Amino acid sequence: MRKWLVLGVVVLGLWMDLMDMTIVNVAIPAIQNDLGTSLQGVQYVVTSYLITIGVFEPITAYWADTQGMKRMYLASLAIFTVASALNGLAWSLPSLIAFRILQGIGGGMIMPLALSIVSVTFAPEERALALGLMGLPLLAAPALGPTIGGWFVQFHTWRDVFWINVPIGIVAFIAALRALQEFPTTRKPLDLGGFVLAAIGFASLLVALSNGPTAGWGSLEIVLLLQIAIFSLALFGLWEARHPSPLFDLRILRLRWYSSANVVTFFTMMGLFGVLYLLPVFLETVGGLGPMDTGMTLIPLVLSAAITIPLSGLLLPRLGAVGLTSLGLTVMGLGTAQLMHLGLSWDAGWLRLWVSVIGAGLGLGIMPAITVAYGSLPPAWMNQGSAMLNLMRQVGSALGVALYTTIIQMREPVYWTQLASTVTVTNFRAQARLAAWQQQGIAHGLSPAQAHVWALTMMAHQLQQTATLWAFHNAFGAAAVAAVIGIGPALWLWGSRQVLRPPDARHTALGEPGGVT
């Protein structure tokens, strides 16, 4: 009974952390207006949080190993909750950014610690179901964030998107204090060089992916950040290979099941953000919906995933990770591809149907890979493996958003030029539409000259909407491809049913699990 209580406690803290990923984005315009800052300045509210996660997530494993997972989980909840309260009290942009950095310290630790705690608490034969149930907030919290945030901004104040974390954080802290028992610790020196290189590398990469579409991939800022990231991460790999007590033991990557599950998670998160990021932007910019209505459109995804995630945990021992993951990613890819048929107007029932299909595929596909990843790790590598898996999740999400945004920005002007070139005197359909708009303008009291200008404006607006629509179609197609690509590494999960057996039946004398290549 206690282990299920532990699961509930961890899910509560995880919900708070993951909801914050999307709830703050909705409040950015309100924060800009209230604090009287520029759009470029207010973007650092998001960027500073990303940088901090990139800095502190790699060292979370070391702190969990040496200080204890319970102690560090309580610390992460406390830091996140206090920082959320301070964000709600922020009096200026610099103070808000400083408190967001503090919040990122806690937020960067919650996810990997939560997954490690559940993986260690549950026996291998129960881990699939436990991680499946734990996957619900992984999807529901980011999907509901825009709806909750939009309601706060529309009817209350942007400060409530931070204040909502305070009561949740307090309850989660007290519950964790009572329910969790401390886990074994070990003594080892801090790999300071590895920490510095990983912090610089991952933070630079996340910021570059986040800012690349707006700053321009060829801008000095982004090029420099990418070069720093590549150089730092390459040095990190060389450093870790030679360090006697590395921050991240590279031997983990020799575990075929773990490495394959990481790649599957990477592409699954890329595909997922084709819905969590692209669809809300489409509905608001092309469809003209508000944040609350947009968020409600994602509810079917959450409901269908709520059914298939626990189902995948029950089916995993019988069907295996290869079949379930491949089926889930195929369904997810097909559902996302259907979004390429969205028009300037659409049937709400049709859209809810395919969003539900995407959620069902996601629920079947993502948790088997994560279960295999944790099941293939020996206890000594659990925290290191958890930190790396979550970094892959972050990078996959950031790369997906960057890729889709770039596709839209690049294709939209191309389509606009193509469409505009068709509006000629020999295009009778276009001329008829212009004439109809001009007659409407005259009927509303405009002069012929004014009505002609108004008709051209209407034509330009429609061409722009169509160009934007087609560009989104390309981005949805890329998201579908990302999901299907994940099937490739999923095939390398063959034989991974062994992770559901007791550890003594599958670990070698060196303490490493099966699946070593």
Residue 199: give the domain boundaries: 191-246
Q: Same domain for 457 and 360? A: yes
Kindly report, residue by residue over 214-244, the tens digit of the pLDDT: 788 889 999 999 999 999 999 999 999 998 8
> Residue 501: pLDDT above 80?
no
Report the chain's terminal Cα–Cα distance, integer Å.
Answer: 38
> Residue 58: pLDDT above 70?
yes
Question: Worst-scoring range by mean pLDDT, 110-119, 126-135, 322-331?
Answer: 126-135
- State the CB neighbour count (10 A cutoff) for residue 409: 15
Please report, for the domain that includes residue 375, its CATH number.
1.20.1250
Q: Same domain for 332 and 363? A: yes
Give residue 509's pLDDT band: very low, low, confident or very high (50, 70, 90). Answer: very low
Boundary-marking domain end, from 137, 161, 184? 184
Q: Same domain for 347 and 481? A: yes
Average pLDDT in the chain: 85
- State the CB neighbour count (10 A cutoff) for residue 49: 25
Boundary-marking domain end, from 134, 165, 184? 184
Q: So what's the pLDDT on residue 234?
A: 95
Q: Same domain for 368 and 469? A: yes
Q: So what's the pLDDT on residue 457?
A: 86
Do the beta carbons of residue 279 and residue 146 sit within 8 Å?
no
Q: Decide: pTM greater than 0.75.
A: yes
Mean pLDDT, residues 243-249: 88
Q: So what's the pLDDT on residue 40?
A: 66
Mean pLDDT, residues 311-320: 84
> Residue 370: pLDDT above 90?
no
Please report, for the domain that includes residue 121, its CATH number.
1.20.1250.20
Q: Same domain for 91 and 128? A: yes
Q: Same domain for 20 and 87? A: yes
Q: Same domain for 478 and 407? A: yes
Kindly report, residue by residue over 377-422, the tens digit of the pLDDT: 888 888 888 888 888 888 888 888 888 888 998 899 999 988 888 8
Over its C-alpha atoms, the chain yields an Rg (Å, rounded) of 24
> Residue 497: pLDDT above 90?
no
Q: Same domain for 138 and 287? A: no
Q: Same domain for 361 and 232? A: no
The residue among 58, 380, 379, 382 whose CA lies nearest residue 190 is 58
Q: Same domain for 304 and 438? A: yes
Number of domains in the chain: 3
Asked whether the CA dihedral 495, 259, 48, 197 is positive or negative, the reply is positive
Q: So what's the pLDDT on residue 502?
A: 56
Give residue 514's pLDDT band: very low, low, confident or very high (50, 70, 90). Answer: very low
Q: So what's the pLDDT on residue 116?
A: 86
Give residue 500's pLDDT band: very low, low, confident or very high (50, 70, 90). Answer: low
Q: Same domain for 295 and 161? A: no
Q: Same domain for 328 and 462? A: yes
> Residue 515: pLDDT above 60?
no
For the chain, counts of helices (H) and of strands (E): 20, 0
Q: So what's the pLDDT on residue 127?
A: 78
